[in-house]
Amino acid sequence: MPVNKKAYGQFIADLGSHHVTLVAVSKTKSVEEIKELYDLGQKDFGENYVQELVEKQSQLPKDIRWHFIGHLQSNKVKRISTFIYLIQSVDSLKLLQEINKQAEKNNRVIDCLLQMHIAQEETKFGLDERELFELLNNIGGFANVRICGLMGMASFTDDMDKVRNEFRYLKNTFDKYAELPIANCPLTILSMGMSSDYSIATEEGSNMVRIGSLIFGVRN
Ligand SMILES: *Cc1c(COP(=O)(O)O)cnc(C)c1O
């Protein structure tokens, strides 16, 4: 399926004027489709499977900024640690330890977001506020990771008031922790919003959206 260039152009104009970063979610899409969007100027792409990401990364231009947005197992961090730009889905201290270790081996600092559980569904990964607090209090020793912000996914529902409340909760949490001097770098990125709810997310203060199907077409 060809990339929806018109939708893409509108996103860039809309989101850019509000200082919102667009991460194009390219999971299940081919390297040709990704290249097509890249040629329009898109540099930030999101993937959520390690194997798929590694294969695509090896075939595509090296200045692409790859975001990892899916659930990440500690034993797979190594495979993406040489090139990953931002890991958005950190949800445990164990995972963060491994990212720090692999980053150190590669002589780099890896930027991360902590993923918060804001939806009602039990299947969505992420931290609650107590776990977030604990994690932020335990990262002092990590020299090779930087916690740059928070990420969250709202409930999959037609109830847009509910979605809005979940985003509002995440934004409030973000504001609260952004002010505390406990993180090892300023919390500046708030990643929330996908194809179905990005406009609510940006109204509620998101500054990074992860959009797949509206640009690339629906996935199988
Ligand atoms: C797939 C995915 C997206 C994009 O979903 P669309 O509905 O296609 O925009 C965003 N964030 C995460 C974490 C995803 O897994």
Return the CATH number at 74: 3.20.20.10
Q: Cα(25) to centroid of ligand 1, in Å?
A: 6
Any ligand 1 atom below 6 A from CB of 29: no
Any ligand 1 atom below 6 A from CB of 153: yes
Q: Which domain holds residue 129?
A: 5-209
Instruction: State both tokens at 120.
Output: 């009602």
Each residue's pLDDT expressed in tens, for the chain with a length of 220 residues: 678 888 899 888 888 888 999 999 999 999 999 999 999 999 999 999 999 999 999 999 999 999 999 999 999 999 999 999 999 999 999 999 999 999 999 999 999 999 999 998 766 689 999 999 999 988 888 999 999 999 999 999 999 999 999 999 999 999 998 877 665 678 999 999 999 999 999 999 999 999 999 999 888 7
Residue 215: inside a domain, yes or no?
no
Give the burial class of 94: count Cβ atoms within 10 A of its Cβ; 0-12 exposed, 13-18 middle, 19 or more buried.
exposed
Q: Cα(196) to centroid of ligand 1, in Å?
A: 9
Any ligand 1 atom below 6 A from CB of 87: no
Q: Cα(107) to centroid of ligand 1, in Å?
A: 31
Which residues are within 8 A (CB) of 67 and not within 5 positions of it... i.e. 6 or more apart? 23, 44, 45, 46, 47, 84, 85, 86, 87, 88, 210
Residue 214: inside a domain, yes or no?
no
Residue 203: inside a domain, yes or no?
yes
Residue 220: inside a domain, yes or no?
no
Residue 25: inside a domain, yes or no?
yes
Residue 216: inside a domain, yes or no?
no
Which residue CA neighbors atom 12 of ligand 1 most closely? 69
pTM score: 0.96
Instruction: State both tokens at 116.
Output: 């918060």
Q: Structural domain tally of the chain?
A: 1
Residue 219: inside a domain, yes or no?
no
List the beta strands (DSSP E) in the chain.
21-25, 44-47, 65-68, 86-90, 110-117, 145-153, 189-192, 208-211
Any ligand 1 atom below 6 A from CB of 152: no
